[in-house]
Structure 1
């Protein structure tokens, strides 16, 4: 009896449902894959390529193919197939995010600490945004620098402004929320600026079969808005729930005796939140985002005309699809 072959170009779960997307992203963003060597990752890519054409080594198990697919999707760009920088992969969001977020939550009392950790966080975010950008829309060095410095400035201005205002006029607990306010403001600046080429030129939109039919700026705005919202949701629970917890814990004598462990404790707690929130945030919206053709027809008539020309027999679909990025 022949063993049913796996379609490596299709997900293992139904991505039309939130539950299916959550399982998929929990699988793909597994932080344990970050320790896999480049040689192992390239071997996994080669095995996937061999399997696609039916030339994999004799006796290769289904489990080995599925694991190779996992490694490939966790470490290689979906558009280009290039190996991503390990620190920019979504699978590095848990270890990278927990270390930086934990530090931001712990070291919030002085302006110097706030500025330093916001700079570290925005440097990390810029790398993640660049690594997971839509590769069909290249970004120049000037645009990258503009996005980076603008987001960093937005984060620092928000952080310093909130810190100054809340320290004078609000409950001391509010000072612990300065990092979240800064991160949210920076995401609203960083992601659109990092992907400004997509907004200016539009992204490729395709039919059900993956055929590129035209470009759309509205689609780019929709995808970037969803990514921005998802990134804020990703960090929100840890940065909103932990401050009152730590404020309460720090009133106990046993916590006062282990002050050097406060930062490691916050880092580990943030890691617990992110382990669940990274796949949750990624799963909020379908990766293969849709846009109604009627929207393109109304707001982008020039792109709609290109769409009609590229449609065989004039059969224009009702919806087109594009990769929103992560």
Structure 2
């Protein structure tokens, strides 16, 4: 009787979907503000396992712990989603989780931008080090948040990593050389250009298996239709746009503010405040930019059947599936 009462009480709750509607941008933004909450990084293994157990118990229609509330279920779901891959169900490495985006990026991007205010930014080692650090982090994030259960060979991972790092370093060095005689504000945007170009290399390379073998596409009800390379292309483009969008506020707003401060006496009197202020400003930007840019495209993206490969369209017709669109997890 108690079990039946619980099921009736939470019959309207569907933990397989976000709490908010993903049909509109506002709902997706609310969802990702929760998913990317940096406080989730502080959760212990016990906290995550407890969340996983509660979510699994609920999905299996098993009796819930006494006193469980609807808020407890949603809290557990988002804790679980913050640490476990949506397709493989494996626990993700902490540095690759979306909840680690703000603390990790604010440190790396803040320091990368801060070097622009020091003599060290004119040296090759400084540029190489910070671009290497940033691309190492990006490689971890891109691999961790790839779409589906897509194993990559060590060779492919190392090739992707080397290409992205080389591209970022080459861009940064070239732009540094070009902007030495330009206004200081122009030079402060060199890191953004380097990061944007590296994202255009790193994400497709790290997810290159999806481009060659496709990603899983399904019907609206979750029935697997097949593997589509065209869907993979769309997913990777969407993720690349989102990632570049995430970087823009943290690499545009702080430089403008710091450029203004550099003309005053504060940083001249307290030069050691440069890096902390940069990191803080970048962090403040990322707290909002990360979820807002993740929400640009639905996590469960879609595309018309007519945009699929001809062989997939033929297979759908032969199977008698009366569908006009297919769906796929675009990754993050």
**TM-score class, shorter:** over 0.9
Checking the alignment, whether the CA contact within 8 Å between 1:214 and 1:304 is kept in structure 2 is: no
The CA distance in 2 between the partners of 1:255 and 1:101, in whole Å, is 19
The CA distance in 1 between the partners of 2:79 and 2:249, in whole Å, is 28
Select the residue among 49, 55, 66 that pairs with 1:58.
66
How far is the alpha carbon of 1:45 from its aligned partner? 0.0
1:153 aligned partner: 166
The CA distance in 2 between the partners of 1:162 and 1:288, in whole Å, is 37
**Moved runs in structure 1, 4+ residues, more than 3 A?**
none
How far is the alpha carbon of 1:316 from its aligned partner? 3.4
The CA distance in 2 between the partners of 1:116 and 1:138, in whole Å, is 29
Q: TM-score by structure 1 length?
A: 0.95
Checking the alignment, whether the CA contact within 8 Å between 2:239 and 2:330 is kept in structure 1 is: yes
The CA distance in 1 between the partners of 2:154 and 2:234, in whole Å, is 24
The CA distance in 2 between the partners of 1:208 and 1:135, in whole Å, is 17
| Stretches of structure 2 lacking an aligned partner (at least 5 in a row) | none
2:56 aligned partner: 49
Does structure 1 residue 207 correspond to structure 2 residue 219? yes
How far is the alpha carbon of 1:258 from its aligned partner? 1.3
Superposition map of 1:154-169 within 5 A: 154-168=167-181
Superposition map of 1:1-326 within 5 A: 3-5=9-11, 6-52=13-59, 53-108=61-116, 109-110=121-122, 111-168=124-181, 170-296=182-308, 300-309=309-318, 311=319, 314-326=320-332
Q: Which stretch of structure 1 is more off in the superposition, 133-142 or 198-207? A: 133-142
Deviations 1:157-186 (A, max 9, x none): 000000001113x22221111100100000
The CA distance in 2 between the partners of 1:147 and 1:321, in whole Å, is 27
How far is the alpha carbon of 1:137 from its aligned partner? 2.3
Checking the alignment, whether the CA contact within 8 Å between 2:214 and 2:231 is kept in structure 1 is: yes
SS of the aligned residue for 1:107 comes to helix
How far is the alpha carbon of 1:75 from its aligned partner? 0.9
Deviations 1:99-153 (A, max 9, x none): 0000010013223211110000000000000110123322111110011000000
